[in-house]
Chains A and B, each alone.
Chain A
Amino acid sequence: MTDLDAATREALAELVLTLADDEFVLGFWDSEWTGIAPMLEEDVATSSIAQDEIGHAKAWYELLAELTDDDADRIAYGREPDAYRHAALMNHPRTDWAFTVARRFLYETADSIRLEALSRSSHPGIAGLAAKMRREETYHLLHWSAWMRRLAEGPETRARIVAALDRLRPDAEAIFSPLAGEAALVTAGVLPDGLAALRAAWHERTATELRALGLPVPVDEAPAPTEGRTQRTDDFRWLWGEFTSVARAEPGASW
């Protein structure tokens, strides 16, 4: 893709960074369930899915490093908290199991729509990775949808799921917050559908699933927040301190 102009290349790098940071930060939050998930089997499943996300983040960071002549580890661990570009959905701490399931449900449905579009990208690196990731994300979506159905059944778990969805929904919209150079990416076919169109598809998809579970369907039609990927919280700063602690202890060390 050497025929892309500088502005489009910059937008491409921004897009890949958002994909990488979403997976990276969510992977770290969910890895906090290791050892304390509701049952041993689920502990292994949650940890394994969290690991998958870190693996996907690694693949995106490596692609980004190639595009920007940088180093994947430096991008992953060498930035200040404010330079991360994950959606606001990933600013929240792990919280309780219902909260994690609700976040996972919102994220996995959005991610599957986003990956489907990216697998049609004109950029072969992006299309190839998205196609591979879709295969793994199919299981993630099945797993978290299975948990949504279970938690929607009991009165107590249902109340918790409703509260968590309520709290997380506005920040989940940030997954589809507009990117600076988005128009150029759409024109070049790097991003085959604009983020607003993907967001509409996500609304439709989640509404269908929530209705089927008898859960409230949000009716908010406001545009996705423009600051959805730049606002950082103290919770995220704490997590950043955790996941960069080893890298910061011995900068430049080879492991």
Chain B
Amino acid sequence: MADRVWEVFRQEAEGDPFIHGGSVNAPDEELAMHYAREFYGRRQESVRLWVVPREAIVELDDPDLLQPPFDRSFKRPGGYLIKHKLEAARVRAGSPAGSGEPEGEA
């Protein structure tokens, strides 16, 4: 039987994100499910498994698309310095500085 590689994703509890567990070799979907269960589910460590043939995965690893050469820090939340703007807004609203929601990264 010619084997295919299947990637297995597991969910530890209802509502949790699926995380990659690893992969199994199996000739078809049915045995892939059985083996995924044996490797990633038989110790009650998963409530749900996703078993995906590796060739169904679309891979993107082009550095020109994923690692742009210019500074793109402004595209991250941390790229904005908003601490002083927040303080000013609080003063205008009449609430003391340092109260209210946590500010996070400034």
Q: Which residues of A contact B (CB under 8 A)?
A: 39-42, 44-45, 48, 139, 142-143, 146, 150
Contacts and interface: CB of A to CB of B under 8 A. Distances in A.
* Most-contacted residue by chain B among A41, A42, A48 (CB, 10 A): A41
Contacts of B25: 39-41
Contacts of A150: 1, 27
Given A139-B37, A143-B34, A41 B42 contact: no
A41 B27 CA distance: 11
B49 interface: no
Contacts, number: 29
Contacts of A143: 34
A146 B31 contact: yes
B42 A48 contact: yes
29 contacts: A39-B3, A39-B25, A40-B25, A41-B24, A41-B25, A41-B26, A41-B31, A41-B35, A41-B38, A41-B39, A42-B31, A42-B35, A44-B35, A44-B38, A44-B39, A45-B34, A45-B35, A45-B38, A48-B38, A48-B42, A139-B34, A139-B37, A142-B34, A143-B34, A146-B30, A146-B31, A146-B34, A150-B1, A150-B27
A193 to B, nearest CB: 31
A92 B37 CA distance: 29
Contacts of A45: 34-35, 38
Contacts of A48: 38, 42
Given A45-B34, A142-B34, 16 more contacts: A39-B25, A40-B25, A41-B24, A41-B25, A41-B26, A41-B31, A41-B35, A41-B38, A41-B39, A42-B31, A44-B35, A44-B38, A45-B35, A143-B34, A146-B31, A146-B34
A39 B38 CA distance: 14
Contacts of A40: 25
Contacts of B1: 150
A144 B33 CA distance: 14
A233 to B, nearest CB: 31
